[in-house]
Amino acid sequence: MCGRFAVTLPQDAMAQLFSAQPDNDLPDVPNYNVCPTTGIHVVVGGAEAPRRLVTMRWGFLPHWYKKPSGGPLLINARAETIAEKPAFRDAARHRRALIVADGFYEWTKTPEGARDPWFIRPSTGDPMVMAAVWQDWNGPDGETQRTCAIVTTAATGRMAEIHHRMPVLLKPEDFGLWLGEEGHGAAVLMRAAPDDDLVQYRVDRAVNSNRASGPELIEPWEPGD
């Protein structure tokens, strides 16, 4: 799964990376501890729509939820079942998106039960782009929210030693197909990234708190720190 990530790319650089028109009201960057239910940067597009950089709630809300807390918190959508699950199947066909990050966090457990955090980022140092799906949610009292979930797949290689799931990561040449700008066939993109594309390293347990902040959260941890 992916339950926390970091993003530092300036908004104008995000817009340039995706050739997208940015909305006026976007989340602040940098953010070294992006948590579920907060507003995040998302790129949307389509065959007949220009790309836009917008804000969405990280936590997909199916249309049958009567309130944002009306069911499980859906921050991830499994690639293996996304086309069949009632919550995601329509979005998987018609509302796919991109989420930019520096990298994401995962945790392993020590024999004593302590949680050790790891930061996973592209080996090139380039921004990480995660596949997502989105949906506009309309509550019974008139509340509206634009919401999204990160698409995940089974982890392989070194990543699987940390966690059995990982985000679906996309390269620039994949953006158009995933967004629906190049017709059908996006399902082939829902695979694990090769080992050599990623770097994984331990970081300080400070990030275990969702209130932690600062660039030190993504710095490599050394024993004795």
Greatest CA separation found in the chain? 55
Coil, strand or helix at 94 = helix
Helix, strand and coil percent figures for the chain, each rounded to 5: 20, 35, 45
Measured in degrees and rounded to the nearest 5, phi and psi for residue 120 equal -120, 125
In the residue annotation, 106 being an active-site residue is answered as yes
Catalytic residue among 35, 80, 106, 161: 106
2 has catalytic annotation? yes
Cβ pair 167, 104 in contact under 8 A: yes
Choose the catalytic residue: 2, 48, 181, 219.
2
* Count of Cβ atoms closer than 10 Å to residue 59 Cβ: 22
**φ and ψ at 212, to 5 degrees?**
-70, 150
Closest CA to 32 of 224, 225, 222, 209: 209
Residues marked active site are found at 2, 106
